[in-house]
């Protein structure tokens, strides 16, 4: 039997999803895209955060180029794989709980866009992040051109992509592509701790915050003020908001897990 491309487990109230194709650098093929989509869809309702990791020395090297070479119709094959991967990215964007990624080793190609879909990315300092499309004669997919342009600005994003350049984890953090950088040996523990921290918080308010942050660039300030007013009202009407206010008044730590 073929070994599963993705491993899943509940770690308390964190749904841990691990890419498990280390012999190929967790390279993206149709089976891995399908398995990751299924893992996201299959998140147990009682879990309150998702943690995405990769087994082996590399997080994900992007598309499985070896499989491209065997395709009868390369355009159709790559186009369908991009569509499958975009479905994964959209599942992360629409996830009803926070999504944390812990990345290390190599992050390339379509995996770069995956980072932008996650809510917080914890990155090992020595990680190499490389778009890598130019080496194949391809243009980007997976949201990678959006992510790099949003974080770096158009001039730096183009310089990186057109020269087939790379960023270290530390550089990616300084430029705003990832939220947190840690020592290599601390990656798994740091990402796990962060996922549990978020899972203990007001996850529905976090998802509303995600929506506001992602929408900010597309709206005027006047429009955004209306969005904020709607969201904070929703939060105040939510059991999470009521628990937070009660805990503040009672001078105790809020228990958001109990807030229905």
Range of the domain at 228: 203-258
Query: 3-class SS at 134?
Result: helix
Give yes or no: residues 132 and 182 share one domain.
Answer: yes
Give yes or no: residues 110 and 135 share one domain.
Answer: yes
- Last residue of a domain, which of 199, 214, 231? 199
- For the chain, which residues score pLDDT lower than 50? none
pLDDT at residue 1, as a whole number: 56
**Domain count of the chain?**
2
- State residue 176 phi and psi, 5-degree precision: 95, 10
pLDDT at residue 259, as a whole number: 87
244 within domain boundaries? yes
61 within domain boundaries? yes
pTM recorded for the entire structure: 0.94
Separation CA 153–CA 73 (nearest Å)? 35
Question: Hey, what are 64's tokens?
Answer: 């499985």
pLDDT at residue 217, as a whole number: 87
CATH for 177: 3.90.226.10
Question: Hey, what are 140's tokens?
Answer: 């980007």
64 within domain boundaries? yes
- Last residue of a domain, which of 199, 218, 241? 199
User: Comparing C-alpha atoms, which of 203, 189, 236 is closest to residue 45?
Assistant: 203
1 within domain boundaries? no
190 within domain boundaries? yes
Give yes or no: residues 136 and 226 share one domain.
Answer: no
Are 118 and 100 spatial neighbours (Cβ–Cβ below 8 Å)?
yes
């Amino acid at each position: 039997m073929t070994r599963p491309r993705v491993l899943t487990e509940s770690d308390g109230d964190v749904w841990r999803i691990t890419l498990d194709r280390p012999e190929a650098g967790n390279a993206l093929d149709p089976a891995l895209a399908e398995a990751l989509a299924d893992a996201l869809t299959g998140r147990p309702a009682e879990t309150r955060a998702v943690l995405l990791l990769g087994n082996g020395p590399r997080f994900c090297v992007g598309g499985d180029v070896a499989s491209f070479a065997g395709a009868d119709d390369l355009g159709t094959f790559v186009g369908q794989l991009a569509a499958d991967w975009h479905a994964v990215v959209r599942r992360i964007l629409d996830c009803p709980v926070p999504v944390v990624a812990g990345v290390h080793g190599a992050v390339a190609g379509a995996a770069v866009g995956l980072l932008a879909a996650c809510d917080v990315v914890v990155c090992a300092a020595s990680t190499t992040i490389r778009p890598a499309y130019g080496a194949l004669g391809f243009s980007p997919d997976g949201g990678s051109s959006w992510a790099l342009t949003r974080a770096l600005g158009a001039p730096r994003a183009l310089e990186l992509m057109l020269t087939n350049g790379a960023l270290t984890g530390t550089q990616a953090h300084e430029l705003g592509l990832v939220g947190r950088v840690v020592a290599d040996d601390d990656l798994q523990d740091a990402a796990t701790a962060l996922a549990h921290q978020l899972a203990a918080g007001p996850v529905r308010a976090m998802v509303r915050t995600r929506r506001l942050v992602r929408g900010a660039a597309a709206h005027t300030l006047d429009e955004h003020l209306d969005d904020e007013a709607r969201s904070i009202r929703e939060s105040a009407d939510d059991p999470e908001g009521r628990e937070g206010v009660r805990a503040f008044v009672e001078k105790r730590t809020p228990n958001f897990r109990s807030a229905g």
